[in-house]
Each structure stands twice: as structure tokens, then as C-alpha cells.
């Protein structure tokens, strides 16, 4: 049996006709495509992005071809704003798509969502198609001659062959409701929290341990700030959670766009108590979808390491015991150093703490003398009533740090990512 591989290629510096990839896709179960992902600068005329792939074997294979730009995790001004995708066999056009939710066959949009392969932005393009063996090319352009960084992906659409490299995505929720999807990651390492066995299966349907031992709940942000877990959880149609740590809340019945997702051990009474309660604030428009949310699970050992490296400032209590806001400052998904956290428009030197890790993906050690974020862009603030939190310093040119209403609640790490706002 052939091994399973995931491919990701990056093409740069090609002057014309960007031939990104030419890869073979077997239609045999013993050698199945996992994921081909290639990124390139999409220009105009003959300098577009072209991904070539071949389906071998004797039977057809269903694939999803995606052309992404708005959902690419880089600075917004660098992205291909509105991609359009064409799939060809030789000179014959097999399919085209501009926005993935608008399909020649409307059921294809439903299929993309059901497979968890819908792109992260409504302007991204995607094609679901079953192809006979042979060579194919996918051409990625910008609508109206637009340019920018885009990604072409070819993904095996057989659910049995999907793995943890593929994100769940939201479909458009019902009017006045919200869909939120993303992954559970470890707050210290930024690695996905995954089950030890069968991670690609749903929790309760083969996968166990890891994220399947966690409990997720949704709350109104204002009510949570006042009452913590004493607030009444919001209703929703369904929660999808699998061993890869992927989650999706469908049709959350929210009354405002401020939603807190709480993460804790599922076996609080009598089971292992491995995690501090954490609440991640997600801001959404009613009737909209939010994909790519990072839910950070904070272990007690992580909380203890933070407190110890900070010099034990709270007597016998930890940051989690006392209650803290964890802010993470990002520009195009990359952490930003040199940011001082603020609340109500002012810094609070007696109440903020910053990490001195050398690895930008790690949050493990605090330097009590540090006055702004290090390479991981993260800081902690205590003694915060429900008020606006933001940052100052480190802003990319022409950008500013947005403000969000947060509070520090005893027994809780409140978490919010602060993406640079660049008008």
C-alpha cells in the first residue's frame, strides 16, 4: 500500500504563466490524495496561477478545487480580493466559479459545506466535481484583472480520505443567527488539540481523548462578562466536534454580535481536571459566518508556569485563579511585538504581564520586567472590570488596534485576538 502524503508547494519568481504544480492523483483507495495546496502571486494576462494535476487509475474521483484570496492568512492589502477559478481538461472548460456560494448546480454549495470544505470567505471560489482519469488544470485569476496573493487547492472529496489538514467551514446561517467554526489549540504550544487515535472521526463516533474530553458552550458576551458561567448558554442547532479539534456551531441564537465560547474539561465532577476555564470572545454580525477561530485551551500546568515565571505575584493564586485577560496582537495572522495592552484607553503597568519566549508560537514564560509584547504578540492583564481593551505601539503603518469590551473573571482566562485594523 502506498503511503498517504499531504503536499504544499510555493511558487515565486516565475515571470509568466505561473505553473504552480503538476501532481498525480490516484483514483485508487490504496493511494489517495490528501491535499494539494499551492500559493503564488496572481497577476494578469499570462501571469495568472495555474495548477496542474493528473488523476490516474480506471475510475472517476470526486475532488474539490478551491481558489482562495480573501481567506488567505496574510495582510489584507496583499490578498487577491476576488478570485475566479476555471477548471480545464486540455482546451475544454469543465467548470468555472467566482463565489463558492453561487454555483451552476446549487446543491454543490451544500455539498461543499457538508464536506467541511467550503472556503472561509464568500468571495473565495470553489468547484466540486467528479473527474475521469486524465490531466487537468486549474486557473486562478482576479475578477476584473485584480491581483494579489492567492492559493489553489485540490482536495480529495471522499470523506473517508479527509484528514486534519482540512478545516471545517460554516454555511450561511439562518437570518439573525450566527455560525462559528475553527479549531481548539493548546494555549502554550499553539498546536491543535487532537485525539490520540482516529482523529479524523467525530467525537463519540470513533475519536476519543484530546478535544473529545473537552466541553464547549456559547454565551452572550455581555452576560458572560457579568456572570461568567452563571450566564445562560445560548441555543444553537448543532455542534460538530471531531478528534482533529475542529468545531462548528451552527445557527447560534445570538441577540448580539458579541459571543463567548467557553472551553473546559467535560468531566468536571469526578473526572480529570486538566484545564483552566477559558472564554474566547468572537465578534460576528448576526446572519453571518465566522470561520478560522482559534479556541485556546489553557492547561493548569500552563497557568502554573505563567504564574511561576512571573514571580508568583498573587500569593498562592494563579492567573487563572485570579482571572485574567489574554490578548494576542496580530497583523495578517502574524504576532506583533512591542504592543502595550490598554484598558479604557490607558496602560495599566501594575496589572499587565508579557511573555519573553523566543518562539513566536509559544506562550510559556513571562518576564515581569517586560512592558510590551514579545515575539508571540501576547500579554495578560488582571483586575479588569467590563471595559474596552486595546493596545498601543507596534501598529503597522496606517493601522490601529481595535477595542473590545472584556473583563477578568475569577477562575477564567478570557481570550481575545486583536487583528490590526488597516483602513
Residue 66 has pLDDT above 80, yes or no: yes
Residue 10 has pLDDT above 80, yes or no: no
pLDDT at 23: 45
Beta bridge partners of 137: 52, 88
How does pLDDT run across 250-301, given as a tens digit for each residue? Answer: 999 998 889 999 999 986 544 568 999 999 999 999 998 898 899 999 999 9
373: helix, strand or coil: coil
Distance between CA 12 and CA 24 in Å, rounded?
A: 22
Neighbours of 4 (CB within 10 A): 12
pLDDT at 335: 96
Residue 232 has pLDDT above 60, yes or no: yes
Distance between CA 157 and CA 110 in Å, rounded?
A: 13
372, 354 contact by CB (below 8 A) = yes
| H or E element at residue 111 | helix 107-114
pLDDT at 15: 35
Least reliable range by pLDDT among 7-16, 215-224, 286-295: 7-16
pLDDT at 33: 47
Predicted structure pTM score: 0.66
Distance between CA 301 and CA 188 in Å, rounded?
A: 10
Q: What is the CATH number of domain 7-161?
A: 2.60.120.380
366, 355 contact by CB (below 8 A) = yes
Mean per-residue pLDDT over the chain, rounded? 85
> Largest Cα–Cα distance in the chain?
72
Least reliable range by pLDDT among 19-33, 120-134, 161-175, 323-337: 19-33
pLDDT at 155: 84
Cα 272 off chain centre by: 28
pLDDT at 210: 87
How does pLDDT run across 351-371, given as a tens digit for each residue? Answer: 999 999 999 999 999 999 999
- pLDDT bin (cut points 50, 70, 90) of residue 209 is confident
Strand 387-392: give its sheet, edge to edge: 346-347, 340-343, 387-392, 404-406
Domain with CATH 2.60.120.380 in the chain: 7-161
Residue 19 has pLDDT above 60, yes or no: no
List helix spans (H) across 185-299: 221-227
Q: Which has more pLDDT, 16 or 321?
A: 321
Residue 239, CA atoms < 13 Å, CB-side half-sphere = 17
How does pLDDT run across 127-182, given as a tens digit for each residue? Answer: 998 888 889 999 999 999 999 999 998 887 765 555 677 677 787 788 899 999 99
Amino acid at each position: 500500500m502506498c503511503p498517504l502524503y499531504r503536499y504544499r508547494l510555493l511558487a515565486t519568481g516565475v515571470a509568466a504563466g505561473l505553473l504552480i504544480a503538476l501532481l498525480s492523483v490516484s483514483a485508487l483507495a490504496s493511494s489517495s490524495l490528501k491535499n494539494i495546496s499551492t500559493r503564488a502571486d496572481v497577476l494578469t494576462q499570462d501571469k495568472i496561477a495555474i495548477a496542474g494535476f493528473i488523476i490516474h487509475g480506471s475510475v472517476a474521483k470526486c475532488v474539490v478545487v478551491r481558489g482562495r484570496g480573501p481567506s488567505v492568512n496574510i495582510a489584507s492589502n496583499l490578498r487577491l480580493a476576488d478570485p475566479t477559478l476555471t477548471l480545464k481538461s486540455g482546451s475544454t472548460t469543465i467548470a468555472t466559479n467566482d463565489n463558492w456560494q453561487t454555483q451552476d448546480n446549487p446543491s454543490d454549495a451544500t455539498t461543499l459545506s457538508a464536506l467541511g470544505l467550503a472556503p472561509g470567505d464568500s468571495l473565495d471560489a470553489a468547484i466540486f466535481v467528479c473527474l475521469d482519469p486524465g490531466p487537468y488544470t486549474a486557473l486562478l485569476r482576479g475578477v476584473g484583472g485584480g491581483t494579489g496573493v492567492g492559493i489553489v487547492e485540490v482536495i480529495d472529496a471522499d470523506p473517508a480520505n479527509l484528514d486534519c489538514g482540512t478545516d471545517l467551514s460554516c454555511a450561511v446561517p439562518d437570518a439573525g443567527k450566527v455560525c462559528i467554526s475553527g479549531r481548539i489549540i493548546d494555549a502554550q504550544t499553539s498546536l491543535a488539540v487532537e485525539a490520540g487515535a482516529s482523529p479524523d472521526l467525530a467525537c463519540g463516533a470513533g475519536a476519543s481523548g484530546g478535544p473529545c474530553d473537552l466541553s464547549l458552550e456559547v454565551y452572550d458576551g455581555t452576560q458572560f462578562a457579568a456572570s461568567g458561567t452563571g450566564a445562560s448558554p445560548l441555543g444553537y442547532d448543532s455542534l460538530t466536534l471531531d478528534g482533529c479539534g475542529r468545531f462548528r456551531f451552527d445557527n447560534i441564537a445570538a441577540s448580539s454580535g458579541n459571543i463567548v465560547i467557553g472551553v473546559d474539561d467535560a468531566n468536571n465532577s469526578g473526572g480529570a481536571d486538566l484545564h483552566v476555564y477559558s472564554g474566547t470572545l468572537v465578534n460576528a454580525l448576526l446572519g453571518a459566518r465566522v470561520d478560522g477561530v482559534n479556541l485556546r485551551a489553557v492547561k493548569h500546568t500552563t497557568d502554573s508556569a505563567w504564574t511561576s515565571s512571573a514571580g508568583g505575584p498573587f500569593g498562592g493564586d494563579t492567573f487563572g485563579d485570579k482571572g485574567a485577560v489574554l490578548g494576542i496582537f496580530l497583523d495578517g495572522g502574524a504576532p506583533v511585538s512591542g504592543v502595550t495592552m490598554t484598558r479604557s484607553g490607558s496602560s495599566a503597568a501594575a496589572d499587565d504581564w508579557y511573555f519573553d519566549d523566543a518562539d513566536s508560537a509559544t506562550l510559556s514564560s513571562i518576564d515581569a520586567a517586560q512592558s510590551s509584547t514579545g515575539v508571540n504578540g501576547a500579554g495578560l492583564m488582571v483586575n479588569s472590570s467590563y471595559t474596552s481593551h486595546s493596545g498601543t505601539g507596534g501598529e503597522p503603518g496606517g493601522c490601529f488596534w481595535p477595542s473590545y469590551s472584556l473583563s477578568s473573571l475569577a477562575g477564567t482566562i478570557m481570550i481575545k485576538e486583536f487583528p490590526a485594523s488597516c483602513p
